[in-house]
Chains A and B, each alone.
Chain A
Amino acid sequence: MSSMSLFQIFFTLAIVQNFITSLFLGFCPFFGVTKNFKDAVAMGGALTFVMVGSAFFCWILTYYILLPFNVVYMNNVVYILVIATFVQILEMFIRRTNLRLYNAFGIYLPLITVHCAVLGITIINLREKFSFPQSMVAAVGGAFGVVILMAVMSAIRERLAVNEVPISFRGLPVAIMVACFLGLAFFGFGGMV
């Protein structure tokens, strides 16, 4: 993937290999927070900040500390520490500035620490040996894919809440089915890159 252009990396991680529908990373907040549009977009914004920030610092730590000192095997520990720090800063900021949003996030805001997509992007950047601009574009692309999917999903779920769904499929099953069809739609772009 490192031989791809920046646009191809962005498009691949945002649409074709979407973190949620293709790589299956970050399911819990995806189904938990997409009950209303506003919270989904806010969660997407917080996730984007953490993903891009983590990718930025993790790239610097990897190429200026882990690789020169030959301790790349410590990558997961270092990445988790960086992500946890970011989430703490974000949590403090949201609690001070928007208490309603903080309450809406509930358990999902601290859960960004263990959000698979956040750790996933840092590991993908290392695995694919991305340069610094490539890793930033990959992080923005991955986050964009998650945000757009959460926004679409929340809009559909708001409509579903007022529609008649068979009793056995009410709630989570129909949400998973919607995610399936969204995934198929995203998968359809596969031939473009």
Chain B
Amino acid sequence: MNTQLLVVTIVLFLTSISSYLLRHKTISRYSLYLVTGITLSFWIRVENIIELTTLGVVFLLFYLGLRANPSLFERNWKVSVKTTFWITLLVTIPFTILLIYQGFTLFDSIILALAVTTGSSLVAIKLVKKEIEKGLLQGKLTESINLIHDVIVLTVLAVLSFPSNPIKDVAIIVALFVVVVVVRDRFANLFFKITGKSKELQLFVAITILLGLSVMTNLAGIGLLIGSFLAGMILSNHKTSYEIRKNIEPLKEFFIVILFVSIGLGLGIPTLNALYLAALLIALTIIVVFAHQIMLTQQGIHAKTSFYTAIQMDQVSEFVVIATLFLYLDSAVSIYVYEAVALAFLITSLTSLLTDIYKEKIFSFVNKEAFVSAKNIPKQNHVIIAVIGKVAHMLYNDLQDKNTPLLAIDQDPQKVQNLKRYIIGDINKEETWEKANYKKAKAIILFNPAFCNIVKTSKAKKFLVHTSKIQGFKHIDMKEAEQKRFNQIIQEILKT
């Protein structure tokens, strides 16, 4: 029987089953793969699939590199760099010193400190996907801070793993990043000139660049991980980088399963020491979150945006986990450092999903005073609009000079700050609605059915602008417009 085939099949089978069964649960896929690895660690050794794991690492780094496009972050760069600088100075370095003082080696201490203070791009960017698409500040900040974290982690790990001449290594890495940022547009144009629209050729040229740069950086003495990331960055600014990402995704998905299962295989059942250390790391991520929030607020970012960005830093970086796995297999770090880092990654990638779901509640709990702010709240006979989008703005501008006062409610300060009457607050809380005197309002217009329960007792005329209907609310289906117009246009086109 082909052992390698059997191992891969078992790995895929278990991950598929668990992913399918838990598809509706808020569980990170990577944690599931890791748990599968832990389960299989009694029968399978990580060495059995180490080659496929290596491919998993390079494809994952390449994929993350493809997402790392500094030009998209505009002026958020400055804020992100400053924040990371202060976090490094005030949290990472003191924590490293503390660990050394506690008897850890310099190597282990830096790994542990990096694990805590840098977030996971894989988990965080997925969580803020919608915010990134909408161009919201918290999304952009999360993306840019994570990219800086990735670059720092890769640089430090490259220097640590091959410590013969750290200054030369850092110089090479910085030079490579600069060269990549400067030449990547020309390079990408050449790439597409060569491949044309052939997806197959695009895939092969992209993988060749990936493997070529990995081999080159390895020969330069800084390891192949940094080369894989840089290969992605080279193609990240091109208009069709999205297509390459899509094309490479099946390969990444296949190998990444093996990679994370391997992390689990290496982990097995952790020792008590590792458990203590993991608990310490997890507790410290909370400090890191608040440190990020403070740094961001200090730079003029709104408290809520700062918090929503900072809370995405509550995981352990996957880069650190991956590098630690290989360092552990090479006996460069102690087993319980690896176990602690992997365990902390597993737990924080699970808790991170929960903190994302409950971030509003956590924010309102932590920032009670700062949370609600309001301006010119009418006492009665007013029209309340929640939440604020373009239609709400149009209505507001159109009707604000009329006799009926309009009150806007939204959680995002950026959306309402310029309006005449508003409340910035948690719309899920009855307190906020009471502040808006909703019981005495003339009309309530909701653009989200989630708040219908709170206001249903009000005698005001209630409207719900949404695709779903709710009893007691006059339903305005926006899709009706599309359907009507669609008919009209088709008839017009067919007549011509």
Q: Are A and B genuine complex partners?
A: no
Q: Which residues does A use to contact B, with CB under 8 Å? A: none
